[in-house]
Amino acid sequence: MTTGRAVNGFLLDITGVLYNSIYKSDGSAIPKSAEAVDFVREEDVITPAPVVAQYCREHELRPHLFVRDDVLEYFDGIDTTSPNCVVMGEVEEGFSFDRINRAFRVLLNMPKPLLITMGNGKFFQRVDGPCIDVGAFAAALKFSTNCEIVMIGDDLLSDVGGAQACGMRGIQVKTGKWRPDFEKLPVKPDLTADCLYDAVKMIADNGFRL
Amino acid sequence: MSRKIKTALIDLSGTLHIEDLAIPGAQAALEKLRKHVAVKFVTNTTKESKNLLHQRLRDCGFAIEKDEIFTSLSAARDLITKQQYRPFFILDDKAMEDFEGIPTEDPNAVVLGLAPEKFTEEYMNRAFRLIKEKNAALIAIHKAKYYQKKDGLHVGPGFYAAGLEAVANVEAKVVGKPNKLFFQMALESLGNVDFSSAVMIGDDVDDDVIGAISAGMHGILVKTGKFRSGDERKVQNVAESFVEAVDMIIENKV
């Protein structure tokens, strides 16, 4: 018997769902997540970087880029001299005091300091424990420079709530940063599963309906 | 005419000296000031113990006794012993001398000061985990947004305190300036807790001057150290440097 509405596509969060982050390495896959997803085409992976680059072009912004090397290509062709904003991405690869201080000085010297962040996660889960994320640095830079903040991306704390607010169904997986006390939060997932594989299997067994 | 000001609290770094260089004329200005008011040196500096601070001032040519210096580190130690905190210290090694004997096993508090060598991902994540998972208290020796070094401005401990507050759902307890209790303890040690006849001289418009005014004291902002153009619009009494600030006090212009 199959009940529920058709599920025609999946948006997958990555860290904590497909794989766990490990400091200075490629991370480790969460068991069976590869089987859950036959293959992930590059165009199926949505990240904030190209959206931020487009935002910069539309608003004629010259960003000081504080991002991972592998997203720099999205910013090709954008003038980065005499920056009038700072773009900050995830900090998974660790941060250096020197880079942060540079971003701080760039902001402090702007007449109207503007910080664009990719996401606003408070922390991300790594195998050795939780680590402070973009949200911490955004708050810190705002405190020290009184900058305006524009956030582009998902809010890690409410992937589920954020999706539901758009009319999508939200599924909570108990991997990554999940904790039992999440059950006390006001967001109620449409489905809760131990891991991605179990979630996909439940939906598949139900004729791709939820 | 009776003098309005009877006591002066004087900031050190940025006001009397910048690293190893005294502000020109400050040594003589201090001697002149001492003839009129009682003075105490108050500093949020967390990078050095009181011994090192005192030595540096002597080397700059200032005639100052060690017990005339009241530091936020001393205030922090008082708070730690009173509350029986077992701290995870994010402090410069040179400051740790002031915390000898404090137990640090199984920490239930994070003590954050100006320690650039320890503003690393490892230290910050450890602090974050203690606060989030063990409910550790967050004590900020001070919350300076930034400070001046010879090569330019650097983010201060306030930067990291604000970051931790935002993500670990905690409020930092500030021990040093502009905490009113800190100013009070400094004045108490001079035997005069009358805020209305006291003045704070400093280069940090927020933590020194506005902090002092909020506590009920007078404040004079000096345009040296971390002073940035525009700061002078936030307060009434502004002096080119400590030298001119002393003249303002002696001439009753505060």
Q: What confidence tens digit (pLDDT) does each residue in A88-143 have?
A: 887 666 567 778 888 999 999 998 899 888 877 788 888 889 999 888 998 999 99
Suggest the residue from A86, A97, A112, A146 to mutate for an interface test with chain B (most B CBs closer than 10 A).
A97
Element (H, E) at A144: helix A134-145
- Does B155 contact A95 at a Cβ distance shorter than 8 Å? no
pLDDT tier, B88 (very low <50, low <70, confident <90, very high otherwise):
very high
pLDDT over 90 at B140, yes or no: yes
Element (H, E) at B111: strand B109-112
Other residues' Cβ atoms within 10 Å of the Cβ of residue A7: 16
Q: Torsions phi, psi of B45, nearest 5?
A: -60, 130
| Three-class DSSP labels, A1-23 | CCCCCECCCCCCCCECCCEEECC
Q: Which residue do the tokens 């791709």 mark?
A: A208
Give A-chain residues touching B125 at CB under 8 angstroms: 129-132
Q: Which two tokens stand for residue B71?
A: 């530091």
Q: Which two tokens stand for residue A192?
A: 């809760």
Task: List residues bridging with B112 in a β-sheet.
Answer: B90, B140
Give B-chain residues touching A139 at CB under 8 angstroms: 162-163, 165-167
* A129 in Cβ contact with A141 (< 8 Å): no
Q: How far is B96 from chain A (nearest CA, A)?
A: 22
Q: Which residue do the tokens 């390495």 mark?
A: A25
- Which residues in chain B are classed under CATH 3.40.50.1000? 7-44+177-250, 83-174
* A11 in Cβ contact with A116 (< 8 Å): no
Task: Tell me the fold of B83-174.
Answer: Rossmann fold (3.40.50)
* A114 in Cβ contact with A50 (< 8 Å): no
> Rounded distance, CA B194 to CA B187, Å?
8
Q: Torsions phi, psi of B111, nearest 5?
A: -110, 115
pLDDT over 90 at B35, yes or no: yes
In chain B, which residue's Cα lies nearest the Cα of A126?
B125
Q: How far is B155 from chain A (nearest CA, A)?
A: 6
Q: What percent of chain B has pLDDT over 90?
A: 79
Query: Which of B125, B152, B163 has the CB atom closest to A139's CB atom?
Result: B163
Q: How far is A165 from chain B (nearest CA, A)?
A: 23
Identify the pLDDT of residue A2. Answer: 63
- Does A129 contact B116 at a Cβ distance shorter than 8 Å? no
Q: Is B214 left (phi over 0), alpha (psi -120 to 50) or beta?
A: alpha
pLDDT over 50 at A1, yes or no: no
> Rounded distance, CA A45 to CA B216, Å?
58
Please provide the average confidence, as pLDDT, over all residues in chain A: 78
Kindly state the average pLDDT of the residues A43-69: 83
Identify the pLDDT of residue B208. Answer: 95
Kindly state the average pLDDT of the residues B151-165: 93
Give A-chain residues touching B147 at CB under 8 angstroms: none
Give B-chain residues touching A104 at CB under 8 angstroms: 146, 153, 155, 159
Q: Could you give the count of Cα atoms lying within 13 Å of A171 in the half-sphere of its Cβ?
A: 23
Strands (E), chain A: 19-20, 28-29, 63-66, 85-88, 114-118, 123-126, 129-132, 148-152, 171-173, 191-193
* B162 in Cβ contact with B146 (< 8 Å): no
Q: How far is A168 from chain B (nearest CA, A)?
A: 27
- Does B128 contact A132 at a Cβ distance shorter than 8 Å? yes
pLDDT over 90 at B220, yes or no: yes
- Does B146 contact A108 at a Cβ distance shorter than 8 Å? yes
Query: Which of B129, B156, B162 has the CB atom closest to A130's CB atom?
Result: B129
Strands (E), B127-217: 137-140, 146-149, 152-155, 173-174, 198-202
CB-based contact (8 Å) between A139 and chain B? yes
CB-based contact (8 Å) between A7 and chain B? no
CB-based contact (8 Å) between A105 and chain B? yes
Q: Could you give the count of Cα atoms lying within 13 Å of B38 in the half-sphere of its Cβ?
A: 15
pLDDT over 80 at B168, yes or no: yes
Q: Mean pLDDT: which of A32-41, A169-178, B174-183, B203-212 is highest?
A: B203-212
> Rounded distance, CA B218 to CA B137, Å?
32
* A114 in Cβ contact with A84 (< 8 Å): yes
Q: Torsions phi, psi of B70, nearest 5?
A: -115, 115
* B27 in Cβ contact with B17 (< 8 Å): no
Q: What is the pLDDT of residues A164-199, one digit of tens each?
A: 666 666 777 777 667 777 777 777 777 787 877 787
CB-based contact (8 Å) between B135 and chain A? no
Task: List residues bridging with B7 in a β-sheet.
Answer: B38, B198
Query: Which of B133, B154, B158 has the CB atom closest to A101's CB atom?
Result: B154
Q: Which two tokens stand for residue B209?
A: 């001057």
Identify the pLDDT of residue A165. Answer: 64
Query: Which of A95, A130, A144 has the CB atom closest to B146's CB atom?
Result: A144
Kindly state the average pLDDT of the residues A28-41: 69
Q: Which two tokens stand for residue A67?
A: 């991002």
> Rounded distance, CA B18 to CA A210, Å?
66
- By the 10 Å C-beta count (0-12 exposed, 13-18 middle, 19+ buried), B112 is classed as buried
pLDDT over 60 at A156, yes or no: no
Give A-chain residues touching B171 at CB under 8 angstroms: none
Other residues' Cβ atoms within 10 Å of the Cβ of residue B165: 20
More confident residue, B185 or B8: B8
pLDDT over 80 at B166, yes or no: yes
More confident residue, A184 or B224: B224
Strands (E), A84-199: 85-88, 114-118, 123-126, 129-132, 148-152, 171-173, 191-193
Q: What percent of chain A has pLDDT over 70?
A: 77
Query: Which of A105, A122, A144 has the CB atom closest to B167's CB atom?
Result: A122
In chain B, which residue's Cα lies nearest the Cα of A138?
B163
Amino acid at B229: S
Q: Which CATH architecture has domain B7-44+177-250?
A: 3-Layer(aba) Sandwich (3.40)
Q: A31: which DSSP letter?
A: T
> Rounded distance, CA B77 to CA B98, Å?
8
In chain A, which residue's Cα lies nearest the Cα of B161?
A140
Identify the pLDDT of residue B234. Answer: 96
Other residues' Cβ atoms within 10 Å of the Cβ of residue A110: 16
- Does B164 contact A137 at a Cβ distance shorter than 8 Å? no
Q: Which residue do the tokens 């020796």 mark?
A: B141
pLDDT over 60 at A157, yes or no: no
pLDDT over 60 at A155, yes or no: no
Q: Which residue do the tokens 């506005």 mark?
A: B210
Give Cα A36 to chain centroid, integer Å.
21
Q: How far is A171 from chain B (nearest CA, A)?
A: 24
